[in-house]
Amino acid sequence: MFYGAAEFSRVTALAILADAKNLVRLRRALVDLQAKPIAVPSCQLQFLRRGHAVHFRCQHPEAPRMRVDVMSKMRGVDAFSSLWKRRTTIALPDGTRCDLMSLPDLVQAKKTQRDKDWPMIRRLIEANYFENYKKPNKSQLEFWLCEMRTPQLLIEVAKNYPAACKRAVVRRPLLEFAMNGSVKELQRYWSPLRKELEKLRHAR
């Protein structure tokens, strides 16, 4: 919601530092929320450090049925220390400070095989583009060129920043189609990848 791609959800996902002192803090918070475990594994350091998520359901009257997913290590995502350095901090009206994953890290974390995550990634990147397209900084430009999934916007970025696009082609070959201004070629590029994932899901 903070990054401009709101989605109704009854799940709060927490990325935490997996050490003994922090686990004590987490358990205290879960007691306050009257949160009960709803799946395996249990909330132990060994499982968090191995990349497992731990799931809870809250029973507190102010958060009834809210699910809390806790994780420390995510596939394809940097270590917690790096995520913490790049975090985004916001202040709520009551003064509470909230630390959020940076947008690029959030996009990386949401790259799963769940269908619902990919439209969200697209919306997150689009929202960031429309907020900053008039005067982007270097990191934002690189982020769009590497992650954007909207053909028309990707073509627009390539047209406005051809030098940056040429540098990024090495990492993302489909940018050649963006530089040529071909929406159909971009769509054709993604189509086999989507079909392959569909077949894998159906087979499973």
17 with 97, same domain: the answer is yes
Query: What is the rounded CA–CA span in Å between residue 155 and residue 186?
Result: 9
Phi, psi of 57 (to 5 degrees): -125, 125
155 with 129, same domain: the answer is yes
Question: Helix 151-160 vs helix 117-132: angle between axes, to the nearest 10 degrees?
Answer: 30
100 with 21, same domain: the answer is yes
Q: Per residue of the chain (204 residues), what is the pLDDT tens digit?
A: 888 877 667 788 899 999 999 999 999 999 999 999 998 899 999 999 999 999 999 999 999 999 999 999 988 899 999 999 999 999 999 999 999 999 999 999 988 756 677 788 889 999 999 999 999 999 999 999 999 989 999 999 999 999 999 999 999 998 998 999 988 888 776 665 556 656 666 666
Predicted TM-score (pTM) of the model is 0.78
Number of domains in the chain: 2
Domain that holds residue 100: 11-105
24 with 101, same domain: the answer is yes
Identify the domain boundary among 105, 135, 156.
105
Report the C-alpha dihedral over residues 37, 40, 46, 49, rounded to 10 degrees.
-90
Is position 131 within any domain? yes
Is position 169 within any domain? yes
Is position 197 within any domain? yes
